[in-house]
Amino acid sequence: MAESCTRPDEPERFPRQGNMSSKQDLIQWENASVETCTILSWLGYGQEIIQARRDAYREYGKLLTARLCGKATYIITGSKCEGLSSYLESDVDQMFVNNRVFCLEDDVKSSAFPGEITVLRSLSRRSYHGHCRLLLERRGTTILEQVNDAFCDDGYGRELLSSDLYVNNWSNVDLTEGTVQHERAGPSMPYTVRGQLHRDLVHALPYYCPNILSKWAARPRHWPPPEAVQRIVSLGAVLTPIGFKGSEYQHVEWRVCFNAGEIELISNLNDTQSKLYVLLKMIKNDVLHPRKKEVSSYTLKNIVLWMAENNPQASFHKKSILQWLHEALDALRVALITLELPYYMIPERNLMATSGLDREQQRTWISTITDMLNEGPQMILRLPKIRTALIAHPEPLRWYSGRRIELELLMLMHRNRVVICSDENGEVDFTDAILQALQRRINEVITDVCVRMRMEGCRVFNLDAILDRIMM
């Protein structure tokens, strides 16, 4: 592998040995780590662009929530809100939290709610950790049809809210023009807008669970800091409509999730920890190639969160990222061998319990990861983006990286401005001066890129295709 990625006239920057047996080995690991961090920043994973993405998606959520007039809260979740994927790099994960329904933990006393609010009581007994059923405690006066039609009898004269019926009811809602809905995927309803913008939508319910959160907050830890712990506790939880696979109550079970809290957790990772998570996701996509999310980005996120909690923050720095990548891959290998990985927020829940991993795939992945661990820093060359960046000359790479990052920021600002300039029917006022200025600069940046590509001998046929390519 080194022969294809190292020029003949320069020393090998990514040595093969997997263990640091000498001071020279340590220096090579550290140098390779620093270069990897630099390349990741050029590729769009530096602190500034990550924070800009987070701010833009948070603002986007607030703008759309304001249009819902208190009926629901709109949240961008996943890698987009975490700031760890570019504009078109992955699907946009969306969550609508119904504010006309409130769910309470098993032993929590009922509070006074306005009459229009529907109150549900969780029943976690006989459900797998991190899951529950929902009993109707009080039907609200303004209950949505999608909620009201999802109740079923539990066999004892009580009403349970069915997660299956809830998802199906929302799937029957009419879509806007140009939107194509796809087959249900777990709790989400995937759809595509204008043939290229892919979305995953989950309809969730707010969940008040102080017992779960106080237990999490009380753990001894190096990270996150106490003030962040308190913010995460205050953000609460949601219930998503998906049961534990194989459970006899699967069709009426709901999963406890902490999306807002996990967004806060990821924002508290330092630069090296964020880039470690990015590298792990690259390995998943470019080396492991899971077919059915047997290993998901969520699996890798939990490994990073556990590592951050259990180790001093000062030990995560740009000279150590490849050593931490080695540790994280070893943790993933152990999880694949044992089929056990505790969920960071509720450790009793095993994230590997429903992975669907077959024996052949398990052996293959364990073997692949073992080989990577033995390669030491050289393992980073398995990643196409990193390998291409190493081969590329630094000046063009930095130039294209700068244009790509500027273009992404412009696109994020443009999208948020479109929401501001839209009326209640979705009609956009394209005469808005700010919107026009953003569009002009977007066109200028694309033109600059096309001109340079032609100067370097590339064929440029379609400006829209160039935009899509830059934003991937």
Strands 197-208, 188-193: pairing is: antiparallel
- Residue 6 clears pLDDT 60, i.e. is over it: no
pLDDT in tens, 420-459: 999 988 899 999 999 999 999 999 998 888 888 888 887 7
Query: pLDDT value at position 169?
Result: 92
Mean pLDDT to the nearest integer, 312-341: 97
- Residue extents of the structural domains in the chain: 2-45+269-389, 69-260, 393-471
| CATH number, domain 2-45+269-389 | 1.10.1410.40
- Residue 467 clears pLDDT 80, i.e. is over it: no
Mean per-residue pLDDT of the chain: 90
Do residues 412 and 441 lie in contact, with contact meaning Cβ atoms separated by under 8 Å?
no
- Residue 8 clears pLDDT 60, i.e. is over it: no
Lowest-confidence pick of 28-37, 213-222, 390-399, 424-433: 390-399
Local confidence band at 279 (pLDDT 50, 70, 90 cut-offs): very high
Task: Give the span between the Cα atoms of 414 and 467, in whole angstroms.
Answer: 14
Mean pLDDT to the nearest integer, 72-98: 91
**For the CA atoms of the chain, what is the radius of gyration?**
24
The model carries a pTM of: 0.90
Mean pLDDT to the nearest integer, 173-184: 77
Task: Give the span between the Cα atoms of 69 and 420, in whole angstroms.
Answer: 15
Query: pLDDT value at position 205?
Result: 98
Query: What's phi and psi for 275, nearest 5 deg?
Result: -70, -30
Query: pLDDT value at position 23?
Result: 84
Amino acid at 23: K
| CATH number, domain 69-260 | 3.30.460
Q: Across the chain, how many H-helices and E-strands are there?
A: 17, 12
Q: Residue 153 is inside which H or E element, if any?
A: strand 151-153
How would you label 17-51 residue by residue, b for 16+ Cβ within 10 Å and e otherwise?
ebebeeeebeebbbbbbbbbbebbbbbbbbeebbe
Give CA 337 to chain center in angstroms: 25
**pLDDT > 90 in the chain, percent:** 70
